[in-house]
Amino acid sequence: MEPNKRTIYEEELQTLRDNMRATQVRELTREQVLDAVKRLEAAKFDAQKKMYEFVRSQRVAPQMINAVIKVEKLKADDQFFNDTGIEEEDVEPNIKRLNLEGTPEFDEIIEEYKKKS
């Protein structure tokens, strides 16, 4: 997925999640949030690699790519929760609460995966 399309998709998905959230956001520490961001970026990168491999190898029909992406997202979210005990939906509100966007640690993580991508 093109980076600008991915950004639009993620923003719309986050807005939908925020509107449908039935539980309170769990407050996380700065370290938990930075670790979570690193794990989530790694999961996105791994999913990207899988998608490119599916397309290149033509193992999946083009119309099935979106279904595969959704399944991979669900698997990644489940794995993230199993590894950390944190819901993926709790990360973004904590990034904003702790004002982490624009900090050197946060930007370093994001840039690392942008370069890999």
- The pLDDT of residue 113 is 87
- Does residue 9 sit within a domain? no
Could you tell me which residue, 34 or 73, shows the higher pLDDT? 34
pLDDT tens string 59-93: 667 677 777 777 888 888 889 999 999 988 899 99
- Does residue 19 sit within a domain? no
Q: What is the mean pLDDT of residues 13-32?
A: 81
- The pLDDT of residue 42 is 92
- Domain of 36 in residue numbering reads as 28-116
> How many CA atoms lie within 13 Å of 68's alpha carbon, on the beta-carbon side?
18
Q: What is the mean pLDDT of residues 11-20?
A: 78
- Does residue 92 sit within a domain? yes
- Whole-model pTM: value is 0.70
**DSSP assignment of 64-87:** GHHHHHHHHHHHHHHHHHHHHS--
CA 96, 88, 34: angle at the middle one, nearest 5? 55
